[in-house]
Amino acid sequence: MGTMTTTPAALLPTDHPLASGLTAEAPLLNQYRGGLDSAGRAAKPVRRPVWFMRQAGRSLPEYRKLREGTTMLDSCLQPELASEITLQPVRRHDVDAAIFFSDIVIPLRLAGVGVEIVPGVGPVLDSPVRTAADVAALPEIDESAFAPIAEAVQRTVAGLAELSAEAGRDWATPLIGFAGAPFTLAAYMVEGRPSRDHLGPRTMMKADTETWNALAGWAARASGAFMRAQVLAGASAAQLFDSWAGALGRADYLEHVAGHSTEALRHVADLGVPLVHFGTGTGQILDVMRAVVEDALPDPAAGHPVLGVDYRMNLHQVADELGTGAHGRGIPLQGNIDPALLFADWSTLEAHVRQVVEDGAAAGGHVVNLGHGVPPETDPEVLTRIVELIHSIAP
């Protein structure tokens, strides 16, 4: 096995948790690197890492109390509030990562695009973006607009360091930054609101390809800049969510989407942090999604691509089908507990979690997660119990 470069690029600020070593040996990053320590040597993590997508939010009573009287997007742009919401599940569940509390349409809001999260509906734009003129009118985001994001990340990183110090650990829980992939973001922009079948963007990419590429390119720059702001402020990894990529056939994804996702990731690929790519219903394009990340990296053999796997797929099978990546080893996987089983009896859920852990052992590294987000009706005690179970299984 060749030695991988695992130290972050000099582009990270010297006080960044990875550059200072604060998060460098965290279990999450060990598995994101494929079971390597920060020096590139094979090493087992001190415990098996787990976190949950949507772990911060509606399933927590403390979140609902904190959010009273504020809209979703406004709460994302209040640094103290966004930081506290990000920290809540780490305190409660002892998960191995914090996922930054924000929303994929925040870059639109920061660019001056009229958008709001309507309760029970989702993101709704004042005006859909459907023509070449609409796209041309989109403002580019000024870097200074990300100041509240950077402040929220810095507050969160400081809070995570305090929590780890209180627990007597010599590593701090890492923060994961995130953004929406260009297809998912552009799909909201074309439809103007959530859609089940995404007819608008699917029509545009074929019938008006030039406009589609201009829009997806704008979305890639917006999401890429959003991720970069989070990483430079202190996030130790970044995840690109392509929630709706599963609505596309393989050929359409390859021709009209993959390149834009690569461009989004290139905004952070030079910073040396692990990059996670996740979508739902993406079994037919997982190999392409891996290539999307590897194509973004300055040196794929030295980077840290990770794939999130939804609940529809078996981790062992995915690991076998993907084989080795550009670095010559199995790609690390993240997932993929079925969220539906959070409502099952404990014996059923425990057996399922243990099977996920067993299947994940076939991958180059494995971070336990859900195969989608935490449903709002979830009992938080169940999540805490899952974390305790996973930590009890020797890595």
Whose tokens are 């589609």? That residue is: 212
Is residue 103 annotated as part of the catalytic site, yes or no?
A: yes
Work out the number of other CB atoms within 10 angstroms of the CB of residue 165: 11
Known catalytic residue: 354?
A: no
Q: Are 219 and 189 contacting, i.e. CB atoms less than 8 angstroms apart?
A: yes
Distance, in Å, from the CA atom of 98 to the CA atom of 104, rounded to the nearest integer, reads 16
Rounded CA gap, 365 and 4, in Å?
Answer: 14
Q: Residue 269 CA to chain centroid, in angstroms?
A: 14
Which of 63, 188, 228, 253 is the catalytic position? Answer: 188
Rounded CA-CA distance 86/101 in Å is: 5
Nearest to 238 by CA among 290, 186, 282, 174: 174
The one-letter amino acid at 222: A
63 flagged as catalytic:
no
Cα 352 to Cα 368: distance, rounded to the nearest angstrom? 12
Q: How far apart are the first and last CA of the chain?
A: 21
Q: Looking up tokens 């809001």, which residue turns up?
A: 109
> Is residue 270 annotated as part of the catalytic site, yes or no?
no
Helix (H) and strand (E) counts in the chain: 16, 9
Is 385 designated active site? no
Give the H/E segment covering residue 123: strand 122-125
Among 37, 47, 58, 74, which one carries the catalytic annotation? 58
Helix (H) or strand (E) holding 357, with range, is helix 346-360
Q: Which of 37, 47, 67, 270 is catalytic?
A: 67
CB 264 within 8 A of CB 181: yes
Nearest alpha carbon to residue 350 among 306, 296, 388, 386: 386
Candidates 96, 103, 242, 359; catalytic one: 103
- Identity at 278, one-letter amino acid code: F
| Active-site choice (32, 33, 48, 54) | 54
Length of the chain, in residues:
395
d(CA 66, CA 75): 9
Rounded Cα distance, 146 and 257, in Å: 26
Q: Which residues are catalytic?
A: 54, 58, 67, 103, 188
